Structure 1
Amino acid sequence: MGRPAHPLVRLVRVPSRRSGALPLVTVSVLAASALAAGAAAVPVSARETGRTETPVASGSPVTEVRESVVRVKIPLPASAGPRPEACDWLSYLRYRHEDGPAASADADRILVAQPGIFEGAGAFDGVARNTVAAAAAKGRYIEFWALDRRSNCLEDRTGVLAGLRAGDVRLAVDYYYRRKEVDGRRFAGYRTNDQVEWLQHVGLEQTVRDQYDLMVRELPDRRARKEKMLCGGHSLGGVLTAYFAEWDFDGNHATTADAGHNQCSGYFALDSRIRKGLPGMGGELPAEWVPLVELGAGAVRAGLESGVVPRALSAPAVVNTETMNLLSIAGLAANLDPDGESELATYVPSGFNQDWTYRLLFSKDYPTFFKGSPTVKDFRFTNAAALGGLLDDNSQPLAFMQASVGFWDGGKIVDKEFPAPNNLEDIGLGGPAQLLGTEKKAIPDEPGGPLFTWRNYDRVGAPDDPVHRSKDGTPFTSAGKEVTDIAQLARSLSEHPLDFTEHYFPTKLITDIALSGAPGIADDAVHEGGITANPTLNLLAGDGLGFGDPQPGDVVASGYQHIDVLTASAVQNDGRPEPVSTNLAAFATG
């Protein structure tokens, strides 16, 4: 894979796959010990202070950036009902330069980032490290706070972090699927709708208030917040920042010191915009629509209370709680042993979700999908190739889950014509094409054949690249279209105590945004000039979702997909610095 070894790494030899375990794996001892501390129970004395901070180590090559997980006790109101004690704490990943000040209040600037849909704090690792390092190169010491939403408190990272410490992905699989005890704990299973009843109260208001309360607790001086803090986010995080900017937090609409826009000196949007409403649903709500929207809001509220409407968004396959965790396991395997043969489809026990997820993601065409043969189990992949197949833009069909991490290698590659053909735009179906991403999909086509490998982003276009071509004769990809090191993606998915993904995304949050014109939902979003009160930097993925056409002043990262704005390598294939973090650092220090 061409991945440099971390300076604090040792090699651990374990039996080969044929004897029942993974081949040679690489384990970071420092990362393992720090993550173990982060996953352990917080000491009583620390919990009594209402704040804990624990170092997190990483195998990232950006070694001059320090990471810690911060947890602050900010309880939900009693009206939210019973919930786990952990859900009365808010968490974020704090990134700062090793030469910078220890206290956040002494930093030159602080970027506070709200994640997108189905996304957690760990997703920001790449852009956070690169931005902090880029600012330090100019003599400015900034911090990057990657927020976890409150619902992430329901996730159990025990198995993934135990597998990381042991250098054995099977330990993680055994914990989640075979009820194997780890550190005296057994996996309690994925939460049912009845077990997350309190999520029906976690919507737009609670989400923006959580961010405000956390910012106030961590930096009590409002003038310091206004001077130092930049507010923004990725994807849905840009939308949430827009509501935050207009929100009134003290209940007195006549005062503005508490308004969201007075907690920030600027805004940043990562493949998003600082704009209220869901994409395509912006603008003022016509007065005649208010009764209809109010009726819809009432129906959603009743559905959440009764449980008829799921309290956490979920689909039967591909996008659900279990699959989000499965991505972490895939990332762990690729992190520990990228070139080892994957057991993701064989050692993970068969089940409806896994089987249908693989069938939907790895079927070559409709006949393959309907026959159910060949299956993903009929192919051999390295761990890196398995992760690439799950999330690369030439494989993953959903645009909001795509990254540009390289391409398949090692055997015959053909067009993937399921769930849609590669020529949608040619036949006049550009809308669906946008939902599925811009790149042609490809898939291995030799069941029972060779071990399919992964050509990392910086090896696409190299002299030994066979240049796999689509049926129309054009290459599936090129060096300019590949921007993320698959090792970075694997680390982001597996190394952090706060996950890359969000397993229990609150349904109320998305329905509140869709129905925000109804009374009682966004009544405190009253400071209408809040969005324009501060300068904004829009950083768009050139091939991502983008939320509309680029506007003057936007930074457009060519070849990037939706996830790449978070994960792209610090040095790109053209030898230039990564543009998103470079421009974000300049915005923060200018």
Structure 2
Amino acid sequence: MNTSRGRGRTWRGAALAVLLASGALTAAAPDASGAGTRTETPVVSTHPADGVTESVVRVKVPLPASFGARPAACDWLSYLRYRSAGGPQVSADADRILMAQPGILEGAGAFDSVARQTVAKAAAEGRHIEFWALDRRSNCLEDRTGIASGDQHAAVDYYYRGGQVDGRTFGGFVGNDRLGWMAKLGIEQTVRDEYDLLVHELPDQGLRERKVLCGGHSLGGVITGYFAAADFDGDPATTADAGQNQCAGYFALDTTVSTSLADLSGSIPDDTDLPDIGLGYAAVQAGLDTGLLSRSLSAPVLLNPETMTLLAIAGMGAVADPDGEADLPAYLPSNVNIEATNRFLFSKDTAAFLTGSPGVKDFRLTNAAVLGALMDDNSVPLAFLQSSVGLFDGGPVTDKNFPAANGSSQPTQLFGVEYKAIPAQPHGPLYTWRDYDRVGDADDPGYRSADGTPFTGAGKEVTDIQELARSLAEQPLDFTEQYFPTKLVTDIQLATSPQVRRLVVHPEGLTARPTLTVLAGDGLLAGRVPADLHPVVAAGYQHLDVLTAAPVQNDGRPEPVSSSLTAFARSPH
């Protein structure tokens, strides 16, 4: 064992525990912007040096009393602030600020790679910009203490077995009966939160209009559309407060700046707890208020707090020891939710799903292979969770024909366009992970489907699994979103109702500023965006790749999403 490496991990785990635990953040010393109303804490990361400084910022912006009882932490807004280490410390002095809204079931930590690259590329050109990755207010309910321990077993024990970390015991995943305040957390409060945060951090409206670029990923593009069209002082005749006048430009990452979910249709699984929109606005709101409808978006497989926490835990193993043999599948507790998720993600066909044999516990996998199985576009059958991080290696693979058979029908937005693969030999070799930049090398087996179709190729792989693991496991604000407000989606789906339509006060705001649209070539919107938007298309990218792709691609060229954002931030607007 390399003892210096072990000491480094111990130090990093201790540092992360301090920074990620919610108590540490609330104890950080407030700055000059207002005693007790703002904290900023540096983030420790094992990311290779890139000249980028990261911190987590929290600003106290209490909800209206009408929201009712909620945890004290939910009266704070949070974001990850990325800036050039050689640039100004004060945000107002930056050359440009990019402010990004996350997508469905997505947290601020998902922006880690694209934020770092954009800031670093601008600094290389002599310009100092900032990237603010916003977290939705409902993420206040998440407890990162177990992840912060840096120990997979400790994290599993903490979240699933009542174990303690640093003397703290997990309070449990929050049920619908404790989410009454979220019944009102829709599009109106979401854009209000963005505006209030922006005004708090940059009080000068003229500076905001000159320097801030507003945008987001996936659903974040739609939220940006509502923000651009909003009025924030209640008087449409006064426009200094209008959303469009807080931004110098807009950017959309695998989405469009709009007030409709049409472009993202098919991206939400059918088994989530979304109500039947035929009920109408008043009925849906009554259902949320009474708790008859789930106040957070969830599904029995993968898309719920209990199982989404597993993504960060898997990331921990891939950060600490990517090539080591994983014991996570065997160490996890056995319950209906986790078992159903394991079967859904790791069954080669319907028979395996129904019987549970062979299951994930029957295969030898490295820690990196476990994470790849959960997140890669050739494995996970949910398009909006897919990234292109490589493929299984180390033993024979076969077609994964569940829940949809390879090549049997037209690919859908829900399942994605790539053929799915799965290890073929239980109780056999140690299956490793071939990272994105080793696909196509001379030693690549070039695995193929039964119909002869290659599962992947160098042009289809763009994200480094180590960077993805760091984003999942090391960020104080989660990569995923465990408690996504149902009302945020139902509001937008009911966009023609008077209660939502009234929020679009300045519709001209949608086109009032220059807009950069960047699309994933194999993502949710592939081939569906009007040409007059002049989108930049990142070839081979999946929906998450626009956030997670590596700085240098397999063809040796720079990563196109961050390059486009850097160029957009450079233009005068």
For 2:472 and 2:156, how far apart are their aligned partners in 1? 15
**Where in structure 2 are the equivalents of 1:57-72 lying within 5 Å?**
57-72=44-59
**Aligned residue pair count:** 552
The answer (yes or no) to whether the contact 1:123–1:567 under 8 Å persists in 2 is yes
- Which moves more between the two structures, 42-51 or 239-248? 42-51
**Where in structure 2 are the equivalents of 1:96-111 lying within 5 Å?**
96-111=83-98
Equivalent position of 1:449 in the other structure: 428
Report how far residue 522 of structure 1 moved: 4.0
The alignment partner of 2:9 has SS state of strand
Equivalent position of 1:95 in the other structure: 82
Match of 2:129 among 129, 136, 142: 142
For 1:359 and 1:34, how far apart are their aligned partners in 2? 32
Change in Cα spacing, 1:151 to 1:399, as seen in structure 2 (3 Å) is same
Equivalent position of 2:11 in the other structure: 29
Report how far residue 82 of structure 1 moved: 0.3
Match of 2:472 among 480, 485, 493: 493
The alignment partner of 2:293 has SS state of coil
The alignment partner of 2:214 has SS state of strand
The answer (yes or no) to whether the contact 2:17–2:145 under 8 Å persists in 1 is no
For 2:505 and 2:568, how far apart are their aligned partners in 1? 27
Report how far residue 510 of structure 1 moved: 0.3
**Where in structure 2 are the equivalents of 1:372-411 lying within 5 Å?**
372-411=356-395
Report how far residue 219 of structure 1 moved: 0.2
Q: Name the % identity.
A: 62
For 1:296 and 1:264, how far apart are their aligned partners in 2? 33
Is 1:470 matched up with 2:470? Answer: no
The answer (yes or no) to whether the contact 2:20–2:148 under 8 Å persists in 1 is no
For 2:29 and 2:547, how far apart are their aligned partners in 1? 36
Deviation sequence 1:375-411 (CA, Å, 0-9, x none): 1111111010000001100001011000000000011
**Where in structure 2 are the equivalents of 1:100-179 lying within 5 Å?**
100-162=87-149, 164=150, 168-179=151-162
RMSD of equivalent CA atoms: 1.8
For 1:454 and 1:345, how far apart are their aligned partners in 2? 16
Change in Cα spacing, 1:486 to 1:102, as seen in structure 2 (3 Å) is same
Report how far residue 337 of structure 1 moved: 1.0
The answer (yes or no) to whether the contact 1:31–1:58 under 8 Å persists in 2 is no
For 1:581 and 1:509, how far apart are their aligned partners in 2? 28
Equivalent position of 1:5 in the other structure: none
Partner letter of residue 520 of structure 2? A
Change in Cα spacing, 1:320 to 1:38, as seen in structure 2 (3 Å) is closer
The alignment partner of 1:345 has SS state of helix
Deviation sequence 1:403-428 (CA, Å, 0-9, x none): 00000001110111110111144xxx
Report how far residue 474 of structure 1 moved: 2.4
Change in Cα spacing, 1:44 to 1:293, as seen in structure 2 (3 Å) is closer
After TM superposition, the score normalised by the length of structure 2 is 0.93
Deviation sequence 1:174-206 (CA, Å, 0-9, x none): 111121111221001100101111100100000
**Where in structure 2 are the equivalents of 1:295-306 lying within 5 Å?**
296-306=280-290
Report how far residue 528 of structure 1 moved: 1.0
Report how far residue 126 of structure 1 moved: 0.2
Report how far residue 343 of structure 1 moved: 1.9
Deviation sequence 1:123-169 (CA, Å, 0-9, x none): 0000000000111111110000000000000000000001x2xxx21
Partner letter of residue 435 of structure 1? L
Match of 1:571 among 516, 535, 552: 552
Partner letter of residue 343 of structure 2? R
Partner letter of residue 491 of structure 1? R
Match of 1:213 among 189, 196, 201: 196
Partner letter of residue 79 of structure 1? S
Is 1:326 matched up with 2:305? Answer: no
Is 1:440 matched up with 2:427? Answer: no
The answer (yes or no) to whether the contact 1:277–1:516 under 8 Å persists in 2 is yes
Equivalent position of 1:19 in the other structure: none
The alignment partner of 1:92 has SS state of strand
Change in Cα spacing, 1:540 to 1:150, as seen in structure 2 (3 Å) is same
Change in Cα spacing, 1:376 to 1:136, as seen in structure 2 (3 Å) is same
For 1:185 and 1:35, how far apart are their aligned partners in 2? 12
Deviation sequence 1:509-557 (CA, Å, 0-9, x none): 0000000211223413210100100000001000001272362521100
For 1:504 and 1:561, how far apart are their aligned partners in 2? 24
The answer (yes or no) to whether the contact 1:132–1:144 under 8 Å persists in 2 is yes
The alignment partner of 1:489 has SS state of helix
For 2:96 and 2:260, how far apart are their aligned partners in 1? 28
Report how far residue 342 of structure 1 moved: 1.4
The alignment partner of 1:520 has SS state of helix
The alignment partner of 2:289 has SS state of helix
Report how far residue 63 of structure 1 moved: 2.8
For structure 1, the residue ranges without an aligned partner over 5 or more in a row are 1-8, 14-25, 283-291
Report how far residue 45 of structure 1 moved: 5.8
The answer (yes or no) to whether the contact 2:16–2:148 under 8 Å persists in 1 is no
Equivalent position of 2:269 in the other structure: none
Match of 1:255 among 225, 238, 249: 238
Change in Cα spacing, 1:35 to 1:171, as seen in structure 2 (3 Å) is closer
For 1:551 and 1:296, how far apart are their aligned partners in 2? 34
The alignment partner of 2:518 has SS state of strand
Match of 1:505 among 484, 487, 496: 484
Partner letter of residue 157 of structure 2? D
The answer (yes or no) to whether the contact 1:468–1:476 under 8 Å persists in 2 is yes
For 1:192 and 1:565, how far apart are their aligned partners in 2? 32
Change in Cα spacing, 1:365 to 1:501, as seen in structure 2 (3 Å) is same
Match of 2:502 among 523, 531, 537: 523
Change in Cα spacing, 1:235 to 1:406, as seen in structure 2 (3 Å) is same
Change in Cα spacing, 1:294 to 1:382, as seen in structure 2 (3 Å) is closer
Equivalent position of 1:184 in the other structure: 167
Is 1:586 matched up with 2:567? Answer: yes
For 2:485 and 2:172, how far apart are their aligned partners in 1? 18
Is 1:361 matched up with 2:345? Answer: yes
For 2:450 and 2:468, how far apart are their aligned partners in 1? 29
For structure 2, the residue ranges without an aligned partner over 5 or more in a row are 266-275
Match of 1:558 among 533, 539, 547: 539
Deviation sequence 1:329-351 (CA, Å, 0-9, x none): 01111111111111221111111
